[in-house]
Structure 1
Amino acid sequence: MRSAAPTAKRERRAPVDFAGKTYLAPLTTVGNLPFRRVCKEFGVDITCSEMAIANNILQGSQTELALLKRHKSETIFGVQLAGSRADVIGRATEFVSRECSVDFIDFNMGCPIDMAFNNGGGSALLAQPRRIERILRTMRHVADCDITVKFRTGVKNNVNVAHELIPQFEAWGAAMGTLHGRSRQQRYSKSADWEYIGRCRGAAQQMPLFGGGDVLSWEDYWAHLETRQQCDGIMVGRGALIKPWIFREISERRVWDISATERLDILKQFARFGMEHWGTDSQGIANVRRYLLEWQSFLHRYIPAGILEVLPQNINDRPPPFVGRNDLETLMASPLASDWVKLSEMILGPAPDGFAFVPKHKSNSYEG
């Protein structure tokens, strides 16, 4: 699907009003369309595709193109692109803008994984402002929708550069920015630096700045947004994977002591959405099981509010072993992949003989 060089943009769509809206982070693998539908059921405002590699889109990769699909329930939807070359990003932006149903296109400058970083993409771009300028100006030129940016504090610990880049992102055409409060070197370890996010908010003139990192409760959310006024909105990532009902808690400003049966119903709903998306044949069911298990590798970290000694749960605290209020609640808290498979079998039937599961994501584990 190699297209010609980027052409001039068409008439622009109305800009998105981002400020103050809840935003589900683009999440590789686990941020699939069925999961986003679950989060929409709980009231999230903004959703975004999993990270899509620009070059793979241009080569017509069916796997990559599938990431661009929007469900009708997604009221404000964007596609996140990753890459390091302005010409490639530009052509992919033009394709997405022209062929896909999107309200915005997000450019990834936050991915910390080695594959992206070593190829000059993701968070490696934070050390290359001239390259960022070429990319964002090209995206802004060819797209008829808003261009947004997601980035980290910097590449190395204690060498923050986001505050210097934010005014430039805005000048180069970004309509909104999201700052994950960690460096690339930190990955997902240590706590997000919300004090720094708050300082960065003042670096933008008109561009809304969202913050992200460690939000797992409505108390966290509103403290950052209202009490400390550290940002214009908040992107929720791992918190939504651990408890997707967080968006209802945020809107209602209350803790939901959700039962194990209600949580199982959420998994059943995901499975229904998954079969609509991936199909009901053997391969479709295999996909549903795989993504359900990937999600369960985060879900098991939830500690039921009714048995917590101190509220709210901290996302970076390793939960102590506990016995649930019933056998299902105990099973759902198990860190063993074999128990996650048992849960999947309660919903999808027996797994194939010899089936075993190893989580793809390391960020579902606790790091020091």
Structure 2
Amino acid sequence: MDLSGVAKIKPEFIVEDHVKVLSMDCVNENDKRKLEAVDVEEDGSVKKRFKKNKNVLKGQNKGRGPTFVTKPEDCFCHSLKDSTLQQTCNYGEKCKFVHDKNAFMKKKPEDISGECYVFLEQGYCPMGISCRFGSSHLDENGVNLINEDVQKKWKASSGNRTVNILSHEVRHELRKHAYNFEKSEKICKENKASKDDKKETENCCKVNLEAKDGGESDVPKVDIAVESDNTPSGPVLDTDIVKTRKCELKKIDWTGKLYLSPLTTVGNLPYRRLCKKWGADITCSEMAVATELLKASPQEWALIKRHESEDLFGVQLCGNNPYVMTKCTQLLEDQMTVDFVDINLGCPIEFIYKQGSGSGLLQRTNVLQSVVTCMNQVSSLPVTIKTRTGIHKDTNIIHNMMPKFKDWGASLITLHGRTREQRYTKQADWDYIEKCSQLCCPVPMFGNGDILSYEDYTESLKKSPSISGVMIGRGALIKPWIFQEIKEKKVFDISSSERFDVLKDYVNYGLEHWGSDTRGVETTRRFLLEWLSFLHRYIPVGILEASQKMNQRPPIYHGRDDMETLMASSNCSDWIKISEMLLGKIPTGFSFLPKHKANSWK
């Protein structure tokens, strides 16, 4: 049954007479070069006329660019932010940042109204004079204040800190290729040698069969040694034949848990922290590219950071060969606090697929086997797999792989019920998920796709009773309280004020994670806007006539109050207005185009 189409909303909330206005504020420069005129027809519809321009960049999001760039001459030196700790710069004359406090204060943007969340929580703000909420913790001379009582209480508390920060020593070793990966290299070589031996054995068997049929074999005969009288008696041990796998040392009970999907860009630490507050059981990092981790890329290692509230946390790796994947697994176990490592076999992005990573690994069975086997052997961390049903449209192939995943030692398999080419345009196939779940038994399997409510959750379990749990992705982006809905077995009618409080929590977590200076504020704003490109799709329960489904668009409607109407807008400029309520005015030169714009309703 095709559930795509228009969501059913109560008639009194639908806007009948309206004129669609194209806001140039939310059009990127590339689209502006294409746009020639906008014609409004008599019926109120919009007709856009485009001119042909060969110089226009083609493809998705080619004109995005950075939303805001901070220049060194506008930033105060990091070494001098807190004048109570240090008076001199660590970098001396090479430092490009501002060192004159008075000169910086003249350039510094106006403080954002409200109190500094970091100061209220920790009793101390490390941003010091650079903090955009500095008026709440700076004295008249710009000296950073400390609330010792709050600070002592925060230091004594647990579960409120960020971990998994790569040390400078390890970062230096990785960049100089000096990190000790002998363990990983040995396992990869042994795995390759065992595969070569297997091929040689198969060739020998073929030759022997030919010799048995009448031909002569060139394979030399081997004398069988006679058993010595000194052979020990008793039970035969298998310690020298079948070695205990290290992955068996650590076990995770996956049954019945709610798993927040690894979400690129929007699945950052503040968002995962918010979902933990609403009841998510399992969280996982954004997809991290293995080769970039081995290069010690700061941007990639930032994805591995974990908040202590994430009590069951994994890291998702993307790579195209066993060498980099095995080394990354060893590195994560040695240096980070991680509960499991997930292999990405579902990423549909074109350049990832062409590299043989993500869903491209499904076409390289031998390489995939080496990846899973070597990762299992190098680490005691459970190795999990997240995959799609196949690659090509309407062609499911993953059921053939399920017994192999089980034999290779996967601890958990998560299946997204669509192929790579389908992306998000079709309904997730939960009947096929059930078929695959039976094939991989006793290895637990999670299902993923189109869960937006408690009703969807129960329907999915009816279609796939064999699965151990569910993973929720876009449903959690549209309504992060879905985890609590499922656990309490009811649907929440979240008001606009409650939703605004959810945004406040996210912003506070973002300022604590990225910093409360100008750069941190604008980074928080950028990720908030990315999330709002999904969050605006939520339709309040009190407005609906029937439950909302994932791929249904709402008609243009007004909310029960002005804030609810604003939150329902699909216009980027309205999302920016919401961000300004929380983070102050946008800076000059700010621009935003959502990364997931093309697939926002798929």
**TM-score of the two chains, using structure 1 as the length reference:** 0.96
| Aligned residue number for residue 565 of structure 2 | 330
Task: Give how far 1:117 is off.
Answer: 0.3
Q: In structure 2, how many angstroms separate the alpha carbons of the residues matched to 1:65 and 1:290?
A: 19
Matched, 1:98 2:337: no
Asked which structure has the greater RCO (Cα within 8 Å, sep 6+), the reply is 2
Matched, 1:222 2:222: no
Residue in structure 2 matched with residue 43 of structure 1 by the alignment = 279
2:48 corresponds in structure 1 to none
2:385 is aligned with 1:149: yes
Compared CA separation, residues 11 and 239, structure 1 to 2 (3 A) = closer
Match of residue 257 from structure 2: 21
Q: 1:170 to 1:10 in 2, by over 3 A?
A: closer
User: Is the deviation greater in 224-233 or in 291-300?
Assistant: 224-233
Q: 2:484 is matched with which residue: 227, 241, 248?
A: 248
284, 302, 319: which one aligns with 2:520: 284
Counterpart of 1:124, as a letter, is G
Q: Against the structure 1 CA distance between its residues 265 and 66, is the aligned structure 2 distance closer, same or farther, given a 3 Å change threshold?
A: same
SS in 1 for 2:589: coil
- CA change 1:156–1:230 in 2 (3 A) is farther
**What is residue 322 of structure 2 aligned with on the other side?**
86
| Kept in 2: contact 1:108–1:151 (CA 8 A) | yes
Q: Which runs of 5+ in 2 are unaligned?
A: 1-173, 188-244
CA RMSD between the two structures: 1.5
Instruction: Give the aligned partner of residue 239 of structure 1.
Output: 475
Please say if residues 201 and 230 of structure 1, whose CA atoms lie closer than 8 Å, have aligned partners that are also in contact.
Answer: yes
Query: Shift of the alpha carbon at 1:159?
Result: 1.7
SS of 1:67's equivalent? helix
- Whether contact under 8 Å (1:298, 1:364) holds in the other structure is no
Equivalence map 1:117-132=2 (5 Å): 117-132=353-368
For 2:416 and 2:258, the matched residues in 1 are separated by 15
CA distance in 2, matches of 1:11, 1:247: 29
State the distance in 1 between where 2:587 and 2:459 align: 47
1:203 alignment partner, SS class: helix
The amino acid across from 2:579 in the alignment is S
CA contact (8 A) 2:249 2:380 kept: yes
Matched residue SS, 1:335:
coil
Structure number, greater radius of gyration: 2
2:555 counterpart (297, 320, 329)? 320
> What's 2:591 paired with?
356
List runs of 5+ in structure 1 lacking aligned partners: none
Pick closer, same or farther for the CA change 1:26–1:363 going to 2, 3 Å.
farther
Note if 1:366 corresponds to 2:595: no
CA contact (8 A) 2:430 2:463 kept: no
State the distance in 1 between where 2:456 and 2:251 align: 28
Q: 1:132 to 1:227 in 2, by over 3 A?
A: closer
CA deviations on 1:263-320 (whole Å, 9 max, x unpaired) are: 0001110011001110011111111000000000000000001100112x10101111
**Structure 2 partner of 1:159:** 395
Q: Contact 2:438 / 2:466 at 8 angstroms: preserved in 1?
A: no
Q: In structure 2, what is the Cα distance between the partners aligned to 1:291 and 1:190?
A: 27
SS where residue 356 of structure 1 aligns? coil
Shift of 1:363: 6.1
2:460, 2:543 → 1: CA distance? 26
Which one of the candidate residues 175, 189, 192 is aligned to 2:425? Answer: 189
Greater shift in the superposed pair: 227-236 or 32-41? 227-236
CA distance in 2, matches of 1:133, 1:363: 34
The structure-2 alpha-carbon separation of the partners of 1:266 and 1:140, relative to structure 1 and needing over 3 Å to count, comes to: same
Matches of 1:230 and 1:306, distance apart in 2 = 34
Measured in 2, the distance between the counterparts of 1:363 and 1:152 equals 20
Residues in 2 aligned to 1:366 and 1:302: alpha-carbon distance in whole angstroms: 12
Deviation at 1:13, TM superposition (A): 5.0
Q: Which residue of the other structure, out of 202, 205, 211, is the alignment partner of 2:438?
A: 202
Structure 1 residue 46 displacement after superposition: 0.2
Does residue 347 in structure 1 map to residue 570 in structure 2?
no
Cα pair distance change 1:253/1:182, threshold 3 Å: same
- Note if contact 1:297-1:364 (Cα within 8 Å) is conserved in structure 2: no
Q: Is the 8 A contact 2:433 2:464 kept in 1?
A: no
Q: 1:134 aligns with which of 354, 370, 386?
A: 370
* Offset, 1:169: 0.8
Partner Cα separation in structure 2 for residue 127 and residue 185 of structure 1: 14
Distance 2:294 2:423 in 1: 29
SS of alignment partner, residue 553 of structure 2: coil
- SS of the counterpart of 1:108? strand
Q: 1:75 aligns with which of 311, 318, 321?
A: 311
Distance in 1 between the 2:332 and 2:368 partners? Answer: 19
The amino acid of 1:177's aligned partner reads: I
Query: How far is 1:104 from its partner?
Result: 0.4
Structure 1 pair 92/150, CA: closer, same or farther in 2 (3 Å)? Answer: same
Rounded to whole Å, the distance in 2 between the matches of 1:303 and 1:151 is 30
Question: Where do residues 296-307 of structure 1 align in structure 2 (5 Å cutoff)?
Answer: 296-307=532-543
Contact 2:247 2:376 survives alignment (8 Å): no
Report percent identity of matched pairs: 50
Paired residues of 1:151 and 1:179 also in contact (CA < 8 A): yes
Deviation sequence 1:5-53 (CA, Å, 0-9, x none) = 4167878652111121000000001000000000000011000000000
Q: Is the 8 A contact 2:345 2:362 kept in 1?
A: yes
Q: TM-score, normalised by structure 2?
A: 0.59
Q: Is the 8 A contact 2:282 2:310 kept in 1?
A: yes
> What is the Cα deviation at residue 366 of structure 1?
2.3
Measured after TM superposition, the shift of residue 205 of structure 1 is 2.4
User: Per-residue CA shift, 1:175-222, capped at 9, x if unaligned?
Assistant: 000000000011111111111111111111211111101100011112
Instruction: Using the TM superposition, give the Cα deviation of residue 90 of structure 1 relative to its aligned residue in structure 2, in angstroms.
Output: 0.6
Kindly indicate whether the alpha-carbon contact (under 8 Å) linking 1:109 and 1:125 is maintained by their aligned counterparts in 2. yes
CA distance in 1, matches of 2:598, 2:419: 15
Measured after TM superposition, the shift of residue 226 of structure 1 is: 4.8
CA contact (8 A) 2:533 2:597 kept: no
Report the CA distance shift for 1:331/1:59 in structure 2 as closer, same or farther (over 3 A): same
Counterpart residue identity of residue 339, structure 1: D
Q: One-letter code of the match for 2:580?
A: E
Equivalenced residues, count = 366
Amino acid across the alignment from 2:474: R
